[in-house]
């Protein structure tokens, strides 16, 4: 093999490629510089401009982290498109229609979304039907239930959610600004960042710990690498998968709730776009579609890149319709890079002898 | 070496509904002994392995460990008793690091409570040492991905892993089947080392050469029954090959093939 004859320089280059988040980070920097250049005149680099794409990215990101876990474990979850509105309307109906305390309603919503994830996981592990089909089915089941239950209980598919209290609004759905000084000395750290951005940071940190630091992360990688061997090694593969489906459903519910609190309204509209968006973020972040490999850091960079491309176009003179084209190209490049990476990783020799 | 076999099968039968797969199988393996199970494709080798490793339960007959009757309801029961099965490709995760893969399911941790962390350095150090003790010195970095190892190194890693976690009986399912000559030699050396360390090894193969290189005891499986059971040096390579081919002598088969070939070439000449 040619690689084995490489000098230490080649080996360190290989080590760089062994970290897929390096590729995702490089992509992020390139995209950022690109839009910073073309969007400079239209305030892309201001605090408000940055918040525009960060806010958009955080909502996708909260879901993308657990979806990344599922994809590393070799599964998909597209039911999140319907679980997002489910989370929102349960919260809104609970507080407005039944006058339940917001945090109790929050817990109820989490339990209901978690249950949807549990059903997904049970069906996938019991029947061996591909998770794409199972969650496609539950996507429509939940979407139907959203509208039916919503109309049955409240007579509408749009629920208002007023006055949820200062604390819950602060945590779930508000705009935050941090600045020092006044007048000309004013230093703005961030401006109009939504609560979901901070939740995204929290979810990312938790995700990083679980996947890369805790022993469970090892189980997730093993599950995606070779399920049979993982089971032989004593990993409770079915339970683990069910937990991962519960996590992704709860993350989707959380996003639905932050949206509802922020907009003071919840709708039953199924968010089909979020299904693709979350998968794109994960793939751009270097998670292999075949499972068994990926990082949380990569997914975070993938999400940020996606956010910039999706929102950044508004800061440039390019036609806004081109953002879909950008994302398509981005996804294609990412998939090809991931594939190349896998080739590299499985072909490299063990030592430099 | 104690005289009681570590693992023994007594008159084991296994049928799936009306289909009988294993007939009256009796075999035993002692510590520090390699039992080679030879058999052609479809002879019932995989069913036998799965019965030994707890995936299937015998329809009738007994399994004994250290002279005691045992029953494995799940693969985990067999593993807990120290029976480790290493499959041809299984047991390894191409895109995981050597250290992580080695400890899958039994991760060493540091810290406490919910903050327990996977101890990467410790895992890497133990994994690398375990493989190097088997003479695979090329593996020196626990962070390398399994996918970068050769087939023989992967097998060796899987065997080293089984030993590290206290296996007493090692079931090797066609470990050399997909390997080149040099790689196969690697694995055979590891098998010898395992034997030297006092493990009972059940080595399943259809490559007579590999079996003869490490085996102390041989059993030939034909259509789910043991057709021959003999010790090292009792039979020649040709005799074993003939046995595996179902009693029909290999030279007869060769003659048949020659005849077929001649028939074809004369046809080709006529056309």
> Which residues, 6 or more positions from A248, have their beta carbon under 8 angstroms from its beta carbon?
A63, A66, A67, A69, A70, A77, A80, A117
Show the tokens assigned to A59.
Answer: 């909502």
Other Cβ atoms within 10 Å of B19 Cβ, number: 8
Kindly report, residue by residue over B184-216, the tens digit of the pLDDT.
888 888 888 888 888 899 998 888 888 888 888
Which of B76, B138, B145 lies closest to A234 in CB terms?
B76
Domain boundary assignment for chain B: 7-235
pLDDT at A240: 95
In percent, the amount of chain A with pLDDT more than 90 equals 52
pLDDT at A15: 57
The CB-based long-range contact list for A335-338 (8 Å cut-off, 24+ gap) reads A335/A283, A335/A289, A337/A23, A337/A286, A338/A20, A338/A283, A338/A286, A338/A287, A338/A288, A338/A289
Going by DSSP bridges, is the β-strand pair B109-110/B34-39 parallel, antiparallel, or unpaired?
unpaired
**Greater pLDDT, A42 or A19:** A42
User: Which residues of chain A neighbour B93 with C-beta distances below 8 Å?
Assistant: 221-222, 225-226, 229-230, 292
> What is the rounded distance in angstroms from the CA atom of residue B198 to the CA atom of residue A260?
66
Hey, are the CB atoms on A232 and B149 less than 8 Å from each other? no
DSSP character at residue A210: I
DSSP character at residue A87: H
Residue A18: pLDDT band (50, 70, 90) is low
Going by DSSP bridges, is the β-strand pair B34-39/B200-205 parallel, antiparallel, or unpaired?
parallel
Among residues 64-93 of chain B, which lie with CB inside 8 Å of chain A? 75-76, 79, 85, 87, 90-93
- Given a cut of 50, whether residue A25 has pLDDT beyond it is yes
pLDDT at A17: 56
In percent, the amount of chain B with pLDDT more than 90 equals 2
Kindly report, residue by residue over B63-121, the tens digit of the pLDDT.
888 888 888 888 778 888 888 888 776 566 888 888 888 888 778 888 777 778 888 88
Contact criterion met (CB below 8 Å) for A105 and A95: yes
> What is the rounded distance in angstroms from the CA atom of residue B271 to the CA atom of residue B265?
10
- Indicate if ipTM > 0.95: no
> Which residues, 6 or more positions from A177, have their beta carbon under 8 angstroms from its beta carbon?
A188, A190, A191, A192, A193
For residues B63, B68, B72 and B75, what is the CA-based torsion angle, rounded to 10 degrees?
-100
Mean pLDDT of A113-135: 95
Q: Chain A contact for B140, CB < 8 A?
A: yes
Q: Between the CA of residue A225 and those of A173, A301, B70, B76, what are the distances in Å?
A: 38, 23, 33, 20
Q: Which of A97, A67, A101, A68 has the alpha carbon at shortest distance from A84?
A: A67
Ordered domains of chain A (ranges, CATH): 18-346 (1.10.3470)
Other Cβ atoms within 10 Å of A53 Cβ, number: 23
Other Cβ atoms within 10 Å of A243 Cβ, number: 17
Beta bridge partners of A131: none
> Which residues, 6 or more positions from A125, have their beta carbon under 8 angstroms from its beta carbon?
A237, A238, A241, A242
**Highest mean pLDDT (candidates A135-144, B168-177, B220-229):** A135-144
Helix spans in chain A (H): 8-18, 20-38, 47-72, 80-92, 102-127, 131-154, 166-172, 195-208, 215-225, 227-232, 237-263, 272-284, 296-312, 322-347
Show the tokens assigned to A69.
Answer: 């876990």
The number of CA neighbours under 13 Å toward the Cβ of A37 is 5
Name the residue of chain B whose CA is nearest to A72's CA: B95
- Given a cut of 90, whether residue A244 has pLDDT beyond it is yes
CATH architecture of the domain with residue range B7-235: 3-Layer(aba) Sandwich (3.40)
User: Which residues of chain A neighbour B94 with C-beta distances below 8 Å?
Assistant: 225, 292, 345-346
Which of A213, A225, A235 lies closest to B105 in CB terms?
A235
- Given a cut of 90, whether residue B156 has pLDDT beyond it is no
CA-based nearest distance B93→chain A, Å: 5
A319 three-state secondary structure:
coil
B63 three-state secondary structure:
strand
Helix spans in B42-200 (H): 45-52, 75-80, 98-102, 120-132, 151-164, 181-196
Q: Chain A contact for B119, CB < 8 A?
A: no
Counting every residue written for chain A, the total comes to: 353
CA-based nearest distance B39→chain A, Å: 25
User: Which residues of chain A neighbour B90 with C-beta distances below 8 Å?
Assistant: 226, 228-229, 232
Show the tokens assigned to B126.
Answer: 């133990």
Which of A221, A228, A232 lies closest to B96 in CB terms?
A221
- Given a cut of 80, whether residue A64 has pLDDT beyond it is yes
- Given a cut of 60, whether residue A9 has pLDDT beyond it is no
Contact criterion met (CB below 8 Å) for A266 and A314: no
**Highest mean pLDDT (candidates A167-171, A249-253, B227-231, B248-252):** A249-253
DSSP character at residue B165: T
- Given a cut of 80, whether residue A67 has pLDDT beyond it is yes
């Amino acid at each position: 093999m040619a690689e084995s004859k490489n000098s230490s320089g080649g080996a360190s280059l290989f080590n760089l490629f062994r970290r897929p988040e390096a590729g995702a980070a490089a992509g992020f920097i390139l995209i950022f510089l690109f839009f910073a250049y073309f969007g400079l005149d239209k305030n892309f680099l201001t605090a408000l401009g940055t918040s525009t794409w960060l806010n958009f990215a955080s909502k996708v990101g909260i879901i993308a982290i657990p979806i990344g876990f599922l994809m590393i474990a070799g599964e998909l979850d597209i039911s999140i498109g319907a679980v997002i509105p489910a989370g929102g309307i349960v919260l809104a109906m609970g507080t407005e229609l039944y006058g339940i305390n917001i945090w109790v309603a929050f817990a109820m919503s989490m339990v209901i979304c978690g249950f949807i994830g549990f059903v997904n996981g049970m069906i996938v592990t019991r029947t061996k039907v591909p998770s794409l089909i199972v969650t496609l089915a539950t996507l429509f089941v939940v979407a139907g239930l959203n509208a039916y239950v919503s109309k049955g209980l409240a007579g509408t598919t749009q629920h208002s959610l007023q006055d949820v209290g200062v604390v819950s609004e602060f945590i779930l759905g508000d705009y935050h600004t941090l600045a020092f000084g006044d007048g000309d000395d004013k230093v703005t750290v961030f401006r109009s960042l939504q609560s979901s951005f901070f939740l995204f940071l929290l979810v990312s940190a938790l995700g990083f710990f679980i996947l890369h630091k805790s022993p469970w992360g090892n189980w997730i990688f093993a599950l995606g690498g070779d399920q049979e061997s993982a089971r032989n090694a004593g990993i409770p593969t079915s339970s683990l998968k069910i937990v991962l489906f519960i996590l992704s459903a709860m993350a989707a519910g959380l996003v639905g709730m932050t949206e509802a609190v922020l907009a003071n309204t919840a709708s039953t509209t199924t968010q089909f776009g979020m299904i693709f968006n979350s998968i794109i973020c994960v793939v751009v972040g270097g998670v292999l579609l075949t499972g068994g490999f990926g990082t949380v850091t990569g997914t975070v960079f993938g999400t940020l890149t996606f956010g910039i491309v999706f929102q950044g176009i508004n800061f440039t003179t390019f036609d806004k319709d081109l953002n879909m084209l950008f994302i398509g190209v981005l996804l294609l490049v990412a998939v090809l890079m991931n594939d190349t990476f896998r080739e590299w990783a499985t072909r490299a020799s063990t030592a430099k002898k | 070496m104690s005289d009681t076999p570590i693992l023994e099968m007594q008159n084991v039968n296994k049928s799936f509904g009306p289909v009988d797969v294993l007939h009256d199988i009796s075999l035993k393996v002692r510590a520090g002994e390699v039992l080679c199970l030879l058999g052609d494709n479809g002879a019932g080798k995989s069913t036998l392995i799965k019965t030994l490793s707890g995936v299937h339960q015998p329809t009738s007959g007994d399994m004994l460990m250290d002279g005691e009757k045992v029953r494995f309801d799940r693969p985990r029961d067999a593993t807990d008793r120290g029976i480790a099965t290493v499959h041809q490709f299984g047991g390894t995760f191409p895109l995981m690091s050597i250290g992580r893969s080695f400890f899958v399911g039994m991760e060493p941790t540091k810290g406490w409570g919910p903050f327990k962390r996977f101890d990467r350095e410790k895992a890497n150090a133990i994994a690398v040492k375990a493989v190097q003790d088997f003479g695979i010195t090329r593996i020196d970095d626990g962070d390398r991905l399994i996918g970068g190892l050769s087939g023989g190194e992967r097998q060796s890693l899987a065997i080293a892993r089984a030993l590290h976690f206290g296996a007493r009986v090692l079931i090797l399912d066609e470990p050399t089947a997909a390997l080149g000559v040099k790689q196969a030699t690697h694995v055979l050396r590891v098998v010898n080392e395992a034997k030297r360390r006092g493990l009972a090894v059940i080595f399943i193969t259809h490559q007579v050469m590999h079996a003869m290189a490490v085996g102390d005891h041989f059993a030939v499986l034909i259509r789910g029954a043991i057709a021959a059971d003999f010790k090292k040096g009792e039979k020649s390579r040709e005799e074993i090959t003939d046995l595996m081919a179902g009693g029909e002598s290999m030279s007869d088969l060769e003659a048949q093939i020659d005849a077929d070939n001649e028939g074809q070439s004369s046809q080709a000449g006529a056309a």
